[in-house]
Amino acid sequence: MDSGLNGAHVLITGASGGIGQAIAKFFDEEGCCLSLHYNKNKKQILRFSSELEGDHCLLQADLSSEVQTKELFRDSIATYGRIDCLVVNHGIWPESPVPVHEMKLEQWDKTIAINLRAAFICSKQYVQNLVTFPKEFASIVYISSTAGVFGEAGHADYAVSKSGLHGLMLSLKNEITHIASRGRVNIVAPGWTITPMTEKFLEDHEGIRSALQTIPLRKLARPEDIARVVVFLSSDRLASHISGQVITVAGGMEGRKLFEPHEIDINGI
């Protein structure tokens, strides 16, 4: 199916990460011009960039800094002009579980600054770009998490940073159409996905087993599972009447155990 995205300029944050690379690869296959953001992992994004066929540029920024985020958008626009689609994908998941009553304010502030405040700053920069370059079409996709839907014990900072994206999306979907009449804003909420973010967790077979007990499909997502949905939602042709939606890509996870440990085959994930 033709997405109609050929020639569109797409900015993807966190394109050096597992899900970000898969998203970039699928947009590349659709013939998009890509602004690929990374923070620290220049080596990884340089290696990945050699796999891409189409036009792309690599842009570094720590998105917890407003100054660096503004520079990122300025450089992206200077390279390929109007940013047509934005994918806010970057994020951190502080690995060690810490209950709310023991969580340090520094951890809370850092997670919110990188995952949520940065999403606001990116959205603001993106919408300002729509004002400068008026056209009907626009799309934002935020990568949230099942933690933002069900919560996550020991990770309240992360869960709040992700559920906060839902409020941002629901508000912005109503604002954006005053600027771009066909502008749409949506969320993809992955569950457990095999990427560098989760690699330590996935070394723990008991951890995988307990995650699979909550998932009817009894497998974990691959980055491509998430990326396909992002491209679909970004396409004005395929998803032209979808805005303000959260698409959960988590194998039917309901946030509660559905299977006992002996019913899980971890070799089949």
Ligand X SMILES: NC(=O)c1ccc[n+]([C@@H]2O[C@H](COP(=O)([O-])OP(=O)(O)OC[C@H]3O[C@@H](n4cnc5c(N)ncnc54)[C@H](OP(=O)(O)O)[C@@H]3O)[C@@H](O)[C@H]2O)c1
158 is catalytic: yes
Cα-trace Rg, the chain: 18
Contact between 38 and ligand X per CB under 6 A = yes
Closest to 13 in 3D by CA, of 116, 94, 146, 95: 116
Kindly state the number of chain residues that form the binding site for ligand X, as judged by CB under 6 A. Answer: 28
Which CB atom, from 45 or from 127, has the smaller least distance to ligand X? 45
Strand partners, 246: 187
Q: Is 41 in the site for ligand X (CB under 6 A)?
A: yes
Site membership for ligand X, residue 9 (CB under 6 A): no
> Least distance from C-beta 132 to ligand X, angstroms?
24
Burial class (CB in 10 A: 0-12, 13-18, 19+), 149: buried
Which 45-104 residues touch ligand X, going by CB under 6 A?
62-64, 89-93
Name, in order, each residue with C-beta under 8 angstroms of 3's C-beta and a sequence gap of 6 or more.
Answer: 30, 231, 232, 234, 235, 237, 238
For residue 17, state whether it binds ligand X (rule: CB under 6 A): yes
Of the residues 1, 40, 78, 106, which one makes contact with ligand X according to CB under 6 A: 40
Distances, alpha carbon 235 to alpha carbons 2, 67, 92, 110, 145, in Å = 9, 30, 27, 33, 21
Only one of the segments 32-40, 46-54, 125-133, 203-211 lies at the binding site for ligand X (rule: CB under 6 A); that segment is 32-40
Positions touching ligand X (CB under 6 A) are 14, 16-20, 38-41, 62-64, 89-93, 114, 143, 145, 190, 192-193, 195-198
